[in-house]
Amino acid sequence: MIIAIAARQTEASTQLDLVSVSCKLVPLHWRACLQKARIEMAERKLDDARITVLNTLELDPWNFSALKHMANIAFQQNRPVEGCFYLWKYEDIFRVNESAPSTTMTLRYEQNCPERVREYLKKNRPKRYLR
C-alpha cells in the first residue's frame, strides 16, 4: 500500500529516475509509466520510450493514452505502418460509430495512413502489430 501511495505521488515528476522507480515498483500504475515514456521521448530516447509503452500495453491493451503514445513513437521512428496500426486500434476501440464527429486521432489517422493500409486494418482487424 505504501509503495502504491509513493507511486501516485511521483507520477507527475519530470525526473526520469523518480518516475522510473515508480513505474518499476508499480507497473500497473500506468500514469507513472507513461510519464516515464514522455520524459524518454523528450530526451529522444525513443527505443526506451517504446519499451516502456509496450510494457504498459501488455498489462492494459486498451489504454487509450498508451495507444496514442505508441502511434507518436512509431511515427517519430519512421515506422508509419506501425503508427497507423496504433491509430487504427485507438479509433476501433474508442470511436462509437463512423458518423461520430472526427477527433484529432481520426484526422491524424486519415491524413497519415494510406488508404490501402486503412482498408487492410479494417478488413483483417489484427489484434497486435507484428512486423
Residue 64 to residue 86: CA distance in whole angstroms: 10
Helix, strand, coil percentages, rounded to 5, for the chain: 70, 0, 30
- Provide the residue count of the chain: 131
Sequence spans of domains, the chain: 1-60, 62-131
Angstrom distance (rounded) from CA 30 to CA 12? 12
- What pLDDT, on the 0 to 100 scale, is given for residue 11? 55
Q: Does pLDDT of 100 surpass 80? A: no
63-86 per-position pLDDT tens digit? 999 999 999 999 999 999 999 999
Enter the C-alpha cell of residue 106.
481520426
pTM value > 0.85: no
Determine the Cα–Cα distance for residues 59 and 105; give it in Å rounded to an integer.
23
User: Which of 11-20, 57-66, 89-98 has the lowest average pLDDT?
Assistant: 11-20
Residues of the chain with pLDDT > 90: what percent? 56
